[in-house]
Amino acid sequence: MTVQAPGSRSVGRVGAAVAGPAAPVAAVLAFAARAHGAQKYGTEPYKVHLEEVMAGCRRMGFTSDLHLMAAALHDVIEDTPIGRASLEKKFGPDVTRVVAELSHDRRVETADYLAAMSDDAFAVKLADRLANVERMGLLENSPDRAAYLLAKYGPEMQLFAAAAKQRGFDSAFAILDAAMVKTTAAIAGAVSEYELQQGRDRVEQKKLARQQELAGADADGSSAAATFVATMAGQKPATSSSPVFIRTAKAP
């Protein structure tokens, strides 16, 4: 299966050998953990999330160094001060390209975000979503946040299913789908219908706010779409250069 990079023809095979400076996967994970600093994944150090995404890659059959290194680094450009140029200098163009594709400007629709990915990036994204869904099923979040995440992730499963089918990743998606079924049952049994409705309402409010933002220009005159294109082209947009912050969950 070939990899289609955004705006280019086929550039290689899924999980092909990594071009660039050699770096053992364990060393890449250690680098990523340092980059995330004091960030949290729920109550856990952020390294726990990175390890869970790497484990998800292995479970789904994405076991190349490229996949595992990108899994460890997948949030570095998006959530730390480290930019694409620095990452490429240290780890080479292949891993950096995948990490850049995984860096999501939240104003960009999820369908467009997934469509722009190469197969390698989508493989890591599947593992990332698996880690988030399974962590969500542990009911560590407050009821209102659990309800919100369920309302957000549930409809997006159709987008992941379509993207996985297009790429021939059906078996990998089946693992995610089974996890989502289990998590949905756990949350539905732990939160009230009122909380579930509040979660759905919050998702709709965020969608409306994003649509309004996409309809106009940003304060500096650049649109969300232009920012997304700049990210995919290798530039770190200004909106991603904020200081490291503590996250209570991977998404929204």
pLDDT value of position 246: 29
CB 91 within 8 A of CB 69: yes
Widest distance between CA atoms in the chain: 52
Q: Is position 250 within any domain?
A: no
CB 119 within 8 A of CB 14: yes
145 closest CA partner among 40, 42, 52: 42
> Distance between CA atoms of 115 and 125, rounded to whole angstroms?
12
pLDDT value of position 88: 95
> Distance between CA atoms of 248 and 246, rounded to whole angstroms?
7
- Mapping DSSP to helix (H, G, I), strand (E, B) and coil, where does residue 2 land? strand
Residues 6+ apart with CB under 8 A from 195: 143, 144, 146, 147
Structural domain span for residue 195: 2-240
CB 1 within 8 A of CB 168: yes
Q: Is position 14 within any domain?
A: yes
Give me the CATH number covering residue 68: 1.10.3210.10
CB 126 within 8 A of CB 64: no
Q: Is position 247 within any domain?
A: no
pLDDT value of position 252: 34
- Mapping DSSP to helix (H, G, I), strand (E, B) and coil, where does residue 202 land? helix
Q: Is position 6 within any domain?
A: yes
pLDDT value of position 22: 55
Residue corresponding to tokens 């980059």: 35
pLDDT value of position 218: 53
pLDDT value of position 144: 86
Q: Is position 245 within any domain?
A: no
Say how many domains are in the chain.
1
Q: What is the pLDDT along the chain (252 residues), one digit of tens a residue?
A: 333 333 332 233 355 556 555 578 999 999 999 999 999 998 899 999 999 999 999 999 999 999 999 999 999 999 999 999 999 999 999 999 999 999 987 778 889 999 999 999 999 999 999 999 999 888 777 888 889 999 999 999 999 999 999 999 999 999 999 999 999 999 988 888 999 899 999 999 988 887 787 776 455 545 555 555 455 544 444 333 322 222 333 333
pLDDT value of position 249: 36
SS (H, E, C) 88-135: HHHHCHHHHHHHHHHCCCCCCCHHHHHHCCCHHHHHHHHHHHHHHHHH
- Residue 222 CA, chain-centre distance (Å), reads 23
Q: Is position 30 within any domain?
A: yes
pLDDT value of position 213: 75
> Distance between CA atoms of 123 and 172, rounded to whole angstroms?
8
Q: Is position 119 within any domain?
A: yes
Query: What are the residues facing 45 on neighbouring strands?
Result: 40
Q: Is position 225 within any domain?
A: yes
